[in-house]
Amino acid sequence: MKRTLFIALLFTVVAGFVFADTQVGIVLPTKDEPRWIQDQTRFLDALKSAGFSAKVLFSQGDSAKEKANVEALISEKIKVLIICPQDGTAAAAAADLAHKAGVKVISYDRLIRDTTSVDYYVTFDSFMVGKAWGDYLNSKVPAGSKGNNLYLYAGAASDNNAFIFFEGAWSALQPKIADGTYIVRNSDKAVALKNKAKLTRDEEAQIIGQVTTNWNFNDAKNKAEANLTAAPKEAKGTVYICAPNDGTARAIADAFAADKDVKTYYITGQDAEIASIQYIIDGKQSMTVLKDVRTLVNDAINAAVAYMKGQTPPVTSYYNNGKKDVPAKPTAIVTVTKDNVKKEIVDSGYWPADKFTGLK
Ligand code: BGC
């Protein structure tokens, strides 16, 4: 009797442990990009002291897998879903499912579009990311010079951020495209729209369609090589390259560096990936944008806690997703170049010094 009771008790405890409800589900787009491994690592760190049970799942670039992840989490009775969509529009169906199950939905870094089932958006100030690229390139153009070679690249059209980054970049670059400071060398749509300060989403989509990297290293490399093959010699020499993130920036930078007619290039990025910080130290990438993932993770966790307590998280602005003005709290970004890399990346504790060589 005693023994049976003991076994029954043990079973309950083990089962309780194995099948315990997960309170917060976190779904990230892919393990194949260092950016999202950064987020996973920072989440796992922060969750140690968060005081609730959570689980991180990856969608591996597949919206069907993303939806299956969300369904699995709903069946584990999550209260809050923190999700960075692979494809902003496709993820609406998963958000709707969660909402129907009474789950609060927090869009993480990327906005889920065309649904009212998004409660909150934690994000960086993506407009300022793009503007930082444009400001940086502008700062490298000799004053009063004309006809400087500009190459534009963008993220995936399925990612709402790609549009916001582009909008920010355009806000800084367009006046200097319009006045002839730059000639855009790889997008005739951008050339055709050069006198429009504010583009419609459709116009942005036309340009992004020509210069997209799909956030993919190989696509970025192939596109840069194709652009260089098509470009005449006078479109090379000194070039200004607006690259949308660190992974694609390294691929594009390598392609430009390999072209004998390219003498000097300036290239942007974002994410402060370790490999790109090394590229910056080595003079192979000009800048990156530090988006401190620790802040984003904390904002997401605090929002989840607020919802579980029946409260609402802090709101400082709204982002329209096509169906709703989603309450949000965008976080500031930092431009990192060779000049401040030690201060912003190492001294700040973002990455340890032993990840890099040649850091002064
Ligand atoms: C993120 C970037 C990231 C890119 C590619 C964007 O939505 O904001 O940090 O580099 O996706 O994954």
The whole-number pLDDT of residue 81 equals: 98
User: Three-state DSSP class for 245?
Assistant: coil
Fold exhibited by the domain 2-118+293-331 = Rossmann fold (3.40.50)
- Output the CA–CA distances (angstroms, integers) from residue 78 to 75, 86, 100, 231, 311, in the order listed: 8, 20, 12, 53, 17
The whole-number pLDDT of residue 16 equals: 43
Torsion-angle region of 89 (φ positive above 0: left; ψ -120 to 50: alpha; else: beta): alpha
89: CA distance to ligand 1 center in Å? 16
Q: Which residues contact 132 (CB under 8 A, 6 or more apart)?
A: 168, 268, 287, 289, 333, 335
Q: Is the domain defined by 126-291+336-355 classed in CATH 3.40.50.2300?
A: yes
Residue with tokens 């390598």: 254
Q: Which amino acid is at 219?
A: D
Instruction: Report which ligand 1 atom has the smallest distance to the Cα of 129.
Output: 8
The residue nearest atom 6 of ligand 1, judged by CA position, is 161
245: CA distance to ligand 1 center in Å? 7
User: Three-state DSSP class for 82?
Assistant: strand
The whole-number pLDDT of residue 21 equals: 87
The structural domains of the chain, with segments of one domain joined by +, span 2-118+293-331, 126-291+336-355
Domain pair 2-118+293-331 / 126-291+336-355, same fold = yes
Ligand 1 pocket: which of 35, 163, 216 to mutate (most atoms <8 Å of CB)? 35
The whole-number pLDDT of residue 15 equals: 44
Instruction: Report which ligand 1 atom has the smallest distance to the Cα of 246.
Output: 10
The residue nearest atom 12 of ligand 1, judged by CA position, is 215
Give residues (CB < 6 A) around ligand 1: 33, 35, 109-110, 155, 159, 161, 215, 245, 270-271
Per-residue model confidence as pLDDT tens for the chain (360 residues): 456 555 555 554 444 444 568 999 999 999 999 999 999 999 999 999 999 999 999 999 999 999 999 999 999 999 999 999 999 999 999 999 999 999 999 999 999 999 999 999 999 999 999 999 999 999 999 999 999 999 999 999 999 999 999 999 999 999 999 999 999 999 999 999 999 999 999 999 999 999 999 999 999 999 999 999 999 999 999 999 999 999 999 999 999 999 999 999 999 999 999 999 999 999 999 999 999 999 999 999 999 999 999 999 999 999 999 999 999 999 999 999 999 999 999 999 999 999 999 998
112: CA distance to ligand 1 center in Å? 14
The whole-number pLDDT of residue 360 equals: 83
Reported as type and span, the H/E element at residue 150 is: strand 148-152
